[in-house]
């Protein structure tokens, strides 16, 4: 089967030459493992960080080894109790056609409840990030005005809708195209949205949230975070989830110039990692499945077909070519 290797550590924006699609042998699964034919794998912003050789919360990808990440596939051979050929499983060995997965790292998923790709998005890691980041980390409460950046993406689109469902007084989103902005207000029920490429974020946010904001869900960092600090009401809370605006930066990026406002406004800026919130998994799946069923929660996916287009899908994600979760499907 084919698999994507990282062959050089990117400096700044990754280039196609930093990756290679290579053939690897497919063997019968060893004791305690299942052989999975991947059907979909995930490309995620955090993978950019794993391409650097720096110590972080996830280890760097090894050069000339297959990259990994979330995937769903079909068991084609099993040497593990409890797994049968034909089972669908979620696991962590994406970026390849065939994966030999230790049974304890495979979670059975049900394609009759939701399309299998949804376990990489709305019902998976990004969905839990939105749920935990809003309800737990930001201590969201009914009546809060919520601002979310990256609002048309996998995490952001769920944050805004979940806030509406739970009684936010106002939900504002920012995204990188007029089409995405339209989706936010016309389909996802955001009260206001703007295209951050159309003018200064602080000014656009002030117009969209004339009474200020209580919660900011940060997927972007930089100018967005600075604008949110300016628009915060007293005791505002920010979930610092991602800072995608600086993932390809080659120089340290400036901090928000207005950070001193944190003092007088008594703001709380709290970083999060979704892995710390597994305790919410059951409640998350129950709530989200219910909201999907009732039609209260909507989602989009951008599906790129073919493993050979996996790197292009990843680069497209960093450029904003996705609406909702970016998925690579292997047909
Ligand atoms: P998205 O689906 O949101 O895709 C990334 C989006 O980022 C693009 O579609 C693009 O949309 C936007 N973007 C790219 N460059 C910029 C920029 N310079 N300024 C503003 N927006 C930009 O990805 P996810 O939903 O998977 O992830 C969203 C964020 O959450 C990321 O920062 C990610 O790292 C973080 N994350 C953190 C987790 C945690 O545990 N802390 C877990 C999961 C995700 P546009 O067209 O709007 O520019």
pLDDT at residue 170 greater than cutoff 80: yes
Confidence band (pLDDT; 50, 70, 90) for 41? very high
- Give the separation between CA 141 and CA 128, rounded to whole angstroms: 18
- Residue 255's pLDDT is 87
Q: 122 C-alpha to center of ligand 1: Å? A: 14
User: Does position 290 have pLDDT exceeding 90, yes or no?
Assistant: yes
Test site for ligand 1: of 219, 223, 275, 325, most ligand atoms within 8 A of the Cβ: 219
pTM greater than 0.95? yes
- 216 C-alpha to ligand 1 centroid (Å): 14
> How far is it, in rounded angstroms, from Cα 201 to Cα 232?
14
Report the distance separating Cα 158 and Cα 70, nearest Å.
19
Residue nearest (by alpha carbon) to ligand 1 atom 45: 176
Among 118, 134, 150, the mutation site with the greatest number of ligand 1 atoms within 8 A of its Cβ is: 150
Direct distance between the N- and C-terminal alpha carbons of the chain, in angstroms, rounded to an integer: 14
Which domains, ranges and CATH numbers included, belong to the chain?
2-121+299-329 (3.90.180.10), 125-275 (3.40.50.720)
Instruction: Please check whether residue 46 is in contact with residue 94, taking contact to mean a CB–CB distance below 8 angstroms.
Output: no
Give the binding-site residues of ligand 1, using a 6 Å CB cut-off: 44-46, 126, 129, 150, 152-156, 175-177, 180, 219-220, 241-242, 244-245, 272-274, 317-318, 320, 322
What pLDDT was estimated at residue 254?
Answer: 87
């Amino acid at each position: 089967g084919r698999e994507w290797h990282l062959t050089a550590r990117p400096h700044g924006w990754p280039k196609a030459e930093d990756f290679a699609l290579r053939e690897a042998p497919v063997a019968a699964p060893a004791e305690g493992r299942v052989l999975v034919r991947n059907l979909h794998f995930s490309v995620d912003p955090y993978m950019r960080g794993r391409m650097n050789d720096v110590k972080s919360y996830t280890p760097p990808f090894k050069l000339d080894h297959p990259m990994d990440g979330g995937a769903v596939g079909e068991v084609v051979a099993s040497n593990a109790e409890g797994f049968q050929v034909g089972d669908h499983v979620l696991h962590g060995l994406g970026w390849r056609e065939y994966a030999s997965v230790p049974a304890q790292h495979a979670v059975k998923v049900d394609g009759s409840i939701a399309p299998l790709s949804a376990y990489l998005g709305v019902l998976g890691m990004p969905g839990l990030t939105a749920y935990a980041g809003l309800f737990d980390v930001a201590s969201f409460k009914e009546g809060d005005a919520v601002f979310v950046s990256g609002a048309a993406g996998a995490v952001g689109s769920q944050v805004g809708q979940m806030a509406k469902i739970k009684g936010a007084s106002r939900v504002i989103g920012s995204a990188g195209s007029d089409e995405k902005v339209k989706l936010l207000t016309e389909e996802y029920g955001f009260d206001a949205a703007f295209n951050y490429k159309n003018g200064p974020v602080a000014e656009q946010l002030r117009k969209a949230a004339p009474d200020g904001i209580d919660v900011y869900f940060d997927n972007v960092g930089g100018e967005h975070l600075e604008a949110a600090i300016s628009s915060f009401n007293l005791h505002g809370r920010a979930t610092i989830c991602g800072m995608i605006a600086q993932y390809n930066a080659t120089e340290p990026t400036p901090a928000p110039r207005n950070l001193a406002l944190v003092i007088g406004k008594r703001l709380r800026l709290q970083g999060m990692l979704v892995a710390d919130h597994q305790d919410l998994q059951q409640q998350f799946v129950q709530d989200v499945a219910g909201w999907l069923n009732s039609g209260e929660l909507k989602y989009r996916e951008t599906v790129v077909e073919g493993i050979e287009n996996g790197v292009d899908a990843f680069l497209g994600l960093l450029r904003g070519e996705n609406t909702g979760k970016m998925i690579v499907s292997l047909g």
